[in-house]
Structure 1
Amino acid sequence: MRVLHIVTGLASGGAERQLQLLLRHLPAHQHCEVVALTNPGTVAAALRAEGVTVHHLAMRGNRDVGALPRLVRLIRSGRYDLVHTHLYRAGLYGRLGARLAGVRAVVATEHSLHAGVIEGRPVTRGVKGLYLAAERLGTTTVAVSRQVAQTLHAWGVPPARVELIPNGIDTARYRRAAADRAVTRHRLRADLGLPQGSWVVGGVGRLVPGKRFHVLLEALAELDPAARLVLVGEGPERVALERRAAELGVRDRLVLTGERDDVPDLLAALDVLAAPSTEETFGLGVLEGLAAGLPVRHSACPALDELPPAAAPQARRIPSDAAAYTAALRELRLLDDHRTEPLPRPPAVGHYDIVRVAADLGALYDRLAPA
């Protein structure tokens, strides 16, 4: 079976990293290629290094309709049995392009949809109308959480057209011997300029307003001077976060790593993961923190909301404001004085193992486009 994944871009965001993970674990008989409409960033380079063919459509913007004929030609020449789209723009152009190219099995994964927000942007009447028109061109829409599925149903997408397949986490990448973890922790703290004895709070995700990382800066200003904050990711809010840190007098205690592909290693350098976003449709960063053996404080994680509390006792949901995070982090600091050993891996991590998730997606492919 030949499968083409169409994605808006391949910078190091959650949906892009999720696609990379899936391609490593889908069944061997499903040969996958990828096309990025624009911005073939660090994930494109990583995919190519792993032997995946990555095409770049060089689309100039949302209204670059000239990209559609190029996409149709690429799909036809590749003789793909199934097309799978990821993210809003790719969903619009990809589903239409697949239909025009004669592909009958068309899947779209909805990674980031709330009642009034899609991929961090407000949903206007026009955006919603285009989304629903494109959805009807597909075969199945994959929702990464029940929250996303419920939003799709509320928008009028028939339940029979929605398949619930959550995001997954590569749990094997977070398993490491105690000695190896200690070496990694020491090395990365030195590389990042963190004092070895400092207490380090971390956040993972794109630097965009919806992640609300400014809340962590405000909490950092109230913590003792030995505390540090590491934000793993890149995005348009970088300058604003640096400015806010300077205003609060904590710029020298903030580390911005930029895009990184060694998140499991970076998490070993942290003492706690904090996730103040209120707009999550899954909460992948929270699960990564749990897989790394960290205590987690978060404000939204639909992936955990779907499981009993005992599935992740190290995680606690708190309001997304500076006072709540300051109190929670102070409490952890008192309980966690220079702890270097990871916490036990909770059941939630195994539940979302990428091996199981990829097998479910592969089975969906087989049902829609049998070999």
Structure 2
Amino acid sequence: MKKIGFLSFGHWSPSPQSGTRSAADVLLQSIELAEAAEELGADGAYYRVHHFARQLASPFPLLAAVGARTKTIEIGTGVIDMRYENPFYMVEDASSADLIAGGRLQLGISRGSPEQVIEGWRHFGYAPAEGETEADMARRHAETFYELLKGKGFAKPNPRPMFPNPPGLLRLEPVSEGLRDRIWWGAASDATAVWAGTLGMNLQSSTLKWDESGEPLHIQQTKQIRAYKEAFKAAGHQREPRVSVSRSIFALMNDMDRIYFGDGRPEQDQIGVIDNTRAVFGRSYAAEPDKLIDMLREDTAIAEADTLLLTVPNQLGVAYNAHVIESILKHVAPALGWR
């Protein structure tokens, strides 16, 4: 059995060919797709966060809205760029969204990806401390956020408060109990996966990774996941860690599927450079269900993970993306033992 959800990058464009021509379109359709996915029996609705781009940005209003409109589906991010985040305010936002959702938030955070602007986090008021890199700053913000979710008091109360205080040091409110166990780190390297395991976070491994061995993406991810699990166990954490991988997977069920995805999709991993670092980008999977099943059996990273996130072409509209998700759930997942 495997949890299967979707991951939307939330693109919008005023182009007549786009099904999401405005920010309002993509936000409302993101909610509608979560509702549709829940009805189909999918396990998760996840959203990517980008700044200075025509994509989903501030995640917590959307997560809260999805939480209010659904009942069972997990609701998450993949990922929030911690270079841009105030971890104190984020605790309040995340806990509030989680309480609205009844404890269904699965919050993916990370160092973030290449940006639309130069050092965009500086416009948000953040800068690395002396001797830090921007990645160090992101991990520092993440560690602070993760520690604050313990719900321990740390702030000295005002002796003349507006309202009566409980005894002792005060904590941020609200804090949603259990949310700390549902924080995920998006790791692009083996080292940051081990770091996340040592802290006790869950792990998200995407469709790209720093190319650390020259091997195919799924093999590198498999080794990354195993190193993460070893670090998690060695740190003495008692619960079972969770791991997700994301993939572009399309079952060709009809002529429309073949028009969109039947030709021109990369059938092998691609190599590129991100922030002056060599990276490996995972292939897309697109074929008739029987062929697709055989292809996916060879992906060892999917086998190693407990959660699979299907990247969806959100600009093609809610109905088509629901069809993409349903095709995998009904015609692919059962044959692979995922359902």
Same fold? TM cut 0.5: no
| Greater RCO (CA < 8 Å, at least 6 residues apart) | 2
Q: So what's the TM-score if we normalise by structure 2?
A: 0.37
